[in-house]
Amino acid sequence: MGINKNNNDVISTSGKRQIYEKYDDTNDINPLEVDLDTILNQYKKNLSKIIDDKRYVKIAVAGRMNHGKSSLLNSLIGDNIFKVQDIRETTANSRYELFEDVLLVDTPGLDANINDDAIANVAYESSNIILFVHNYNVGDFHKGELEALKRIADFHNSEAFSDRFILVLTGKDAVTDQNDRELIKLKLLKDIKQFCGLQNFPTFEVSNTTFMKGKSENKEKLIVYSGIPTLLEYITSKIENLKPLRTKQTIEKIRNIQATAIYLFNEILQNKTVNLDSELIDADKLYEEYKNLITKEINDLHSQYKHLKQEEEELNLFRDSIADGVSKYIYYKYIELEMEENSWPFWEFFGKPLSGSLINIDEIRKNALSRYPSKVYLPSSYKDKAILILKTKMSVKKQEVEQIRNKFNSYYEYLYNKYMNDSIIQKSKSIITKNGLLEEKFLDILLEIEKYIYGDALKLQNEVEYIKPWIADVDNFSDMTIRLLEGLE
């Protein structure tokens, strides 16, 4: 036996979820709803961020303080937007639109604190291109630079990261000898490969000071020598090459957050399903016990009723026909013991005279009854007494039959009284006053008990069904968003 098992800007949840509300009879906070909402809201938040990231190509600029990071940003923009000073002030990701749909993101310096590192990591993870700035004049990498670069690379597949990573060496005007710069560069590339596993990425030499001087003095040679135009040209071509990949990357990100949300939903669903299966096993066992108990009670009552009814009818029959002879069974069971012992010649009615002492009377009776199995003929002086005895016995049988009938008519009350300490039968007592046939009451009682036994299982089953539309919503909305993105290409 078992049970018949808004954020409109981003996603609208399914109306199917209303299936659960009708089983929740309280106004309290539903913990399941809270868990599901938490997962869905995180999915919506991540999806909004992914869609926002898709609008722009993001170029993150990373580097230690005083390595020319802000100066490089100003050179790329062509204006003194970003502050150039010895005191670290960048504690957030400053953004500036370099071209249409292209953002330059100035991150906190690599020598920032843990909180600033977390802010910078957000930019690194979402950027399409990362410019890593190091000053020639410093020489080798600081250990912290390599550790930071390794963390940045770990956000991405090494091969994919090499394709979006650009090493920018500033201060070429401070190290004028080309051979010296080449030696420094080779050592830097070796360290990056050895420490971070990165290679085959572009490297540019620039002089921000020379670029700004050439720009202010309108000297084209200085501008060209600065290396900024070459870097900008590469970035521009890289952006064009990135456009087809951006949709693919965005789709991959959507699929990732979709998989994460569905995994978390399925974790809850699986736990609920396991609990449901366990609850059903226990409920099935308990229900079977109550069904057997009640069935046994019903069968016992039927048996008693049938037996008493037969006796009542038999007594009534022989009361009316006592003049024609009494069944030896009726006589021996209901009459003989009520007569005064040896008050009449019992044996004479079996055609056998008394022989021997009174001690043998039981043997005589036994022999007589076996020889004459059908009737006992009473003399007229005993008939009235026999009829009175039968009437009395019949009255008792009628009372017993009536008691059984009353148990039928109020069987649930009888069951409740008999098992009044049973919590399940107590809870389902509401059926007591219902009229109807015993068979109907029997079914009603089982249904009432089933309701309480399977109550928790029913709630779990509804919760299982309630979770499924949430999964469908995430699936459907992710697919719809991806189709829209593909249609824009």
Give the per-residue pLDDT at 227. 92
Mean pLDDT of 4-27: 36
Residue 353 has pLDDT above 70, yes or no: no
In this predicted model, which residue has the larger pLDDT, 129 or 435?
Answer: 129
pLDDT one-digit tens code per residue, 17-34: 333 333 334 345 566 777
Residue 94 pLDDT level (bands cut at 50, 70, 90) = low
Residue 4 has pLDDT above 50, yes or no: no
Give the per-residue pLDDT at 77. 81
With 0-12 CB in 10 A as exposed, 13-18 as middle and 19+ as buried, what is 299? exposed
Residue 181 has pLDDT above 70, yes or no: yes
Q: Give the tokens for residue 49.
A: 């961020």
User: Could you give the CA distance from residue 150 to residue 273 in angstroms, rounded to a whole number?
Assistant: 43
Give the helix/strand (H/E) hosting 326: strand 326-327
User: Could you give the CA distance from residue 128 to residue 163 in angstroms, rounded to a whole number?
Assistant: 10
Residue 141 has pLDDT above 70, yes or no: yes
Give the helix/strand (H/E) hosting 61: strand 57-63
In this predicted model, which residue has the larger pLDDT, 317 or 279?
Answer: 279
**Window from 45-49, 125-129, 280-284, 428-432 with minimum mean pLDDT:** 428-432
User: Could you give the CA distance from residue 52 to residue 95 in angstroms, rounded to a whole number?
Assistant: 14
Q: What is the DSSP letter of 422?
A: -
Residue 79 has pLDDT above 70, yes or no: no
Highest averaged pLDDT of the listed ranges 134-143, 313-322, 376-385: 134-143
Give the per-residue pLDDT at 229. 92
With 0-12 CB in 10 A as exposed, 13-18 as middle and 19+ as buried, what is 211? buried
Q: What is the DSSP letter of 156?
A: S
User: Could you give the CA distance from residue 249 to residue 53 in angstroms, rounded to a whole number?
Assistant: 11
In the chain the first and final C-alpha atoms are separated, in Å, by: 56
For the chain, give the percent of residues with pLDDT over 90: 9
Residue 80 pLDDT level (bands cut at 50, 70, 90) = low
Mean residue pLDDT of the chain comes to 73
Which stretches of 321-433 are DSSP H helices?
Answer: 328-330, 361-371, 380-409, 411-418, 423-427
Mean pLDDT of 364-386: 59
Sign of torsion over alpha carbons 268, 273, 278, 283 = positive
pLDDT one-digit tens code per residue, 443-464: 777 777 787 788 788 888 888 8
pLDDT one-digit tens code per residue, 199-234: 889 999 999 999 989 988 999 999 999 999 999 999
User: Could you give the CA distance from residue 438 to residue 420 in angstroms, rounded to a whole number?
Assistant: 20
Q: What is the DSSP letter of 85?
A: -
In order of their start, the domains of the chain are: 1-55+247-323+394-489 (no CATH), 56-226 (3.40.50.300)
Q: Give the tokens for residue 481.
A: 């968003």
Residue 174 pLDDT level (bands cut at 50, 70, 90) = confident
Give the per-residue pLDDT at 310. 76
Owner of token pair 């949430």? 470
In this predicted model, which residue has the larger pLDDT, 248 or 191?
Answer: 191
The phi, psi pair for 402, rounded to 5°, reads -65, -40
Q: Give the tokens for residue 189.
A: 């590339």
Give the per-residue pLDDT at 67. 73
In this predicted model, which residue has the larger pLDDT, 204 or 142?
Answer: 204
The phi, psi pair for 70, rounded to 5°, reads -65, -35
Residue 377 pLDDT level (bands cut at 50, 70, 90) = low
**Window from 97-106, 279-288, 438-447 with minimum mean pLDDT:** 438-447
In this predicted model, which residue has the larger pLDDT, 484 or 166?
Answer: 166
Give the per-residue pLDDT at 166. 92
Q: What is the CA radius of gyration of the chain?
A: 49
Give the per-residue pLDDT at 7. 36
Among 412, 446, 451, smallest CA distance to 431 is for: 412
Give the helix/strand (H/E) hosting 167: strand 165-170
Strand blocks (E) in 64-164: 94-99, 102-106, 129-135
User: Could you give the CA distance from residue 186 to residue 66 in angstroms, rounded to a whole number?
Assistant: 22
